[in-house]
Amino acid sequence: MILLMLDFDGTLAPIRPRPEMAKLSAGALNLLERLGRSPDVILAIISGRKLAELKKLVPVRGIYYAGCHGLEINGPGIKFIHPRARAALPDLKALKKDLKSLKGQLPGALIEDKGFSVAFHFRNMAGRHIAFMNEQISGMQKKYPRLLCQPGRKVYDFRPKVSWDKGRAVKLLLNKLCSKKPFPVYIGDDATDEDAFRALRGIGLTILVENPERGRGRTAAVYRLASPAKVLTFLKSLL
């Protein structure tokens, strides 16, 4: 039996200009439904997206979901919210107001409210604004010391500064399922997935989905796949 853990954006679905444009293809959804029914597979989707949104994007019965980089986890026999996540909501609300003001000065920028995190996307923003944006984001990091600012693929993701990440979420799932002794497999594409790769070093299979924005830099993953399309090919082989 394997515990198959998959990121969403850039892994199951290609990165799109706007977050709401990212969708699973009918073939990908059918494949995940088949994997979810397999007696040899325990399926989990682990993403920076909001938990409720993740469930809508991957509507597969009986699987595990970890949203906001693992701050929220839901699935058979588990309903978890990090105990310190709610305490950060006032800071996130104030930050969102500041980001809205910044967005007004940066054409093309987007704000994504994820509940327990806030993302500032600049994929559609002109390059000439990058230096100014980075300066402002740096100031916000100092203004909100109880929040962690995580850079990603053309995005800054602010979330509660707690000892928690995708790696710890993975370990929680493994502990929850220890009686079944599943072999962990994790596939992801972004910097936040490196925490999961490190957590599974020596005990599981870790695969980085390459992307041109990140390049072929160092990774804690053992293997690489070239694209989300190659991920689907790999998943088909598991059936």
- CATH superfamily, domain at 86-160: Trehalose-6-phosphate phosphatase related protein; domain 2 (3.30.70.1020)
Please report the pLDDT score of residue 83 as a whole number: 87
Could you give the C-alpha distances from 64 to 36, 118, 210, in angstroms and in order?
A: 10, 23, 25
pLDDT averaged over 10-residue windows placed end to end, the chain, 239 residues: 96 87 92 96 95 95 95 95 90 96 95 92 93 96 94 91 93 93 95 94 95 76 95 94
- pTM of this prediction exceeds 0.75: yes
- 2-82+164-238 and 86-160, same CATH topology: no
Please report the pLDDT score of residue 216 as a whole number: 67
- Which CATH architecture group holds 2-82+164-238? 3-Layer(aba) Sandwich (3.40)
Please report the pLDDT score of residue 13 as a whole number: 92
Q: Which sequence positions are flagged as catalytic?
A: 7
Tokens of 78: 């588990």
Cβ(5)–Cβ(172) below 8 Å? no
Per-domain residue ranges for the chain?
2-82+164-238, 86-160
Please report the pLDDT score of residue 215 as a whole number: 61
